Chain A
Amino acid sequence: QSALTQPRSVSGSPGQSVTISCTGTSSDVGAYNYVSWYQQYPGKAPKVMVYDVSKRPSGVPDRFSGSKSGNTASLTISGLQAEDEADYYCCSFAGSYTLWVFGGGTKLTVL
């Protein structure tokens, strides 16, 4: 069982928006503004889409946005495109003992 809870799957039609949640606790997501999101295609390495809750690396489309409320972080993808179909993982700092934990991953299907 992963430390952070994500829905196993979400789906949306092209052009729509989808939000993927990442629920932790007051010891990880809720305690620090160190949450990142990764996109992973089958057989490929993950790619960072959002870091430090809401920052976007250069080259990542602004269709991808991150936020946090309490113990839950969210990744919103607006204007869905077929190429967004992938697995998405959240990651959070969890303190000086555990350090970094990942969510179980969410499979995004573009209908």
Chain B
Amino acid sequence: QLQLQESGPGLVKPSETLSLTCTVSGGSISGSTYFWDWIRQPPGKGLEWIGHIYYSGTTFYTPSLKSRVSISVDTSKNQFSLKLNSVTAADTAVYYCARHLDKSSLIDYWGQGALVTVSS
């Protein structure tokens, strides 16, 4: 059974960089069938797709965050990571990593989510 687990600091100061890692177990992050997504959800609000990465390192980002976000992959560790710089309180959210089938709208496996609070 595939499992995804987010890890990283739960508190980040304004203007600093938010960094999260997603560790994939029970399956390989390599392979041509899937993208690996980051999605976030501010408290009490809806879901927002941030971006995703292919095992080869090809990335796609949502336009509204493109200038501040970076997603990378480490296939040797079966992990992918999110960096969001110049954070503000508006970036406070639960951050989910997930698996996304290529050429499909299927996001079939999700991590449990990691709450990141931006506050001084």
Contact indicator A99/B49 (Cβ below 8 Å): yes
Measured between beta carbons, the chain B residues less than 8 angstroms from A34 are 104-105
Q: What per-residue 1/0 map shows which CB atoms of B80-119 lie under 8 Å from chain A?
A: 0000000000000000100001001111101111000000
The A interface, classified by DSSP as helix, strand, loop or mixed, is strand
**Are B62 and A98 interface neighbours, CB within 8 A?**
yes
Q: Report the nearest A residue to B97, measured CB to CB.
A: A45
Whether B105 and A91, one on each chain, are in contact in the complex, defined by CB atoms closer than 8 angstroms, is yes
CB of B16 closer than 8 Å to a CB of A: no
The verdict on A64 contacting chain B, using a C-beta distance below 8 Å, is: no
Chain A residues touching B, range: 20 to 34
Contact at B104–A89, with CB atoms within 8 Å? Answer: no
Q: How far is the CA of A38 from the CA of B113 in the complex (A)?
A: 15
Whole-angstrom CA separation of A52 from B108 in the bound complex: 12
Known: A45-B112, A45-B113. A102 touches B48 (CB 8 A): yes
Q: Using Cβ atoms and an 8 Å threshold, which residues of chain B touch A30?
A: none
Q: Which of B47, B51, B62, B104 contacts A46 (CB 8 A)?
A: B47
Residues of A within 8 A of B51 (CB): 99
Inter-chain contacts of A97 with B (CB < 8 A): 63
Establish whether residues B46 and A102, one from each chain, have CB atoms under 8 Å apart when the complex forms: yes
Report chain B residues within 8 Å CB of A52. Answer: 104-106
* Count, chain B residues at interface, CB 8 A: 19
13 new A-B contacts at CB < 8 Å, known A46-B107, A52-B105, A99-B49: A36-B106, A44-B112, A45-B113, A46-B110, A47-B110, A48-B107, A48-B108, A51-B104, A52-B104, A93-B105, A97-B63, A98-B62, A102-B48
Closest Cβ neighbor of A106 among chain B residues: B46
7 nearest CB pairs, A to B? A36-B105, A45-B110, A51-B106, A34-B105, A100-B49, A102-B47, A105-B46
**Which partner residue on chain B sits nearest A91 by CB separation?**
B105
> Are A36 and B107 neighbours in the complex by a CB distance under 8 Å?
yes
CA distance A72 to B46 in the complex (A): 19
Interface membership of A103, Cβ < 8 A: yes
What's the Cα separation between A52 and B60 when bound, in Å? 20
Q: What residues of chain B lie closer than 8 Å to A51, measured between beta carbons?
A: 101, 104-107
A44 to B111, CA, bound (A): 10
